Amino acid sequence: MRTPVKLGLYGGALAVVFAASGFAANAIVPEDAVQDWEAAAQHEHAEEDQGMDATGHADHGAAGLGLEAEGYRLDGVSAPDEVGEEGTIALTILDPAGAPVTDFETSHEQELHLILVRADGAEFAHAHPEMDAEGEWTLPWTWEAAGAYRLYADIVPAGGEAVTLSTTVQVAGDYSPERFEAPVAEASVDGFDVALEGDLVAGESSPVSISVSRDGEPVDALEPYLGAYGHLVALRQGDLAYLHVHPQGEEPAPGETGGPTVDFAVTAPTAGAYLLYLDFQVDGQVHTAGFVVDAAVGGHGGDAHENGEDHEH
């Protein structure tokens, strides 16, 4: 698990501060959406099988909405049941024949990226479990906030294509959904100020730049983390459909530093609000900043598969 972090987001006159064990982010999903998100996700996954989203638009860029994709399936998922309980997150990936997968390609320096996010977006984590000889992945874990969580397993089976599988877990305890009603383009975390520039247009590859400063001075000492100067995860508001994006440019060499700006290309599958979570590393410590960005309707009504584009890994 990563070291606990605290992250504050501010946009205009609104301030949102949140913290968790090894993760932090912002909250934007209304309470009624939080209560209905699992049912909505199941509905939209069924629509996705027909190449459409819940609004009737092509939604090929959305991923991570179900246990199964490309014949691979998430199995044997378990996690601690309540806040403060020390335990383990466990899961297994099954191949199309139903056998545990034990051979994976390395993608961004890891064979499996585990993303955990609460339904309201207020809790976020990016972790890396370890796999045993039988194909079971495990990670010591203790929840510090209650609620419904979606867990994503981002993998590349050997000889195959990138696949994102997901499921949900319930964590018992006192729970008050966070609420957020405006975009957030600036964040303050661990003494760093992080700012996002760029607009998303549905169905198009949109350039986004994120800059890091400290005490008013640009930070040019960003260290490689997972093979890049920044690692960005994007989730669609409401159903938490998953996009996995990475910076533009070549992979930095070990020991090389960069910054203060990291550039990304993000393809939003449909119009609407997206949660963006940036991991960056300075002095060996990983920090997480969260943002909320609205994607405008594209020239083709927000269709996401124009020119063969898909979610990015």
N residues, the chain: 313
Residue 124 or 299, more confident: 124
Strand partners, 28: none
Rounded-to-integer distance, Cα 256 and Cα 152, Å:
30
Do residues 247 and 253 touch, judged by C-beta distance below 8 A? no
Do residues 283 and 117 touch, judged by C-beta distance below 8 A? no
Read off the pLDDT of each residue in 89-108 and give the average, rounded to a whole number.
96
Average pLDDT, the chain: 81
Task: Say which CATH topology domain 184-305 has.
Answer: Immunoglobulin-like (2.60.40)
Check whether 307 has a pLDDT greater than 70.
no
Q: Predicted confidence band at 245 (pLDDT cuts at 50, 70, 90)?
A: confident
Check whether 114 has a pLDDT greater than 70.
yes
Q: Which residues lie below 8 Å from residue 39, measured CB to CB, with a gap of 6+?
A: none
Q: Which CATH superfamily is domain 31-171 in?
A: Immunoglobulins (2.60.40.10)
Rounded-to-integer distance, Cα 18 and Cα 26, Å:
7
Rounded-to-integer distance, Cα 123 and Cα 37, Å:
15
Q: Mapping DSSP to helix (H, G, I), strand (E, B) and coil, where does residue 140 land?
A: strand
**For the chain, where do the domains classified as CATH 2.60.40.1930 start and end?**
184-305
**For the chain, where do the domains classified as CATH 2.60.40.10 start and end?**
31-171
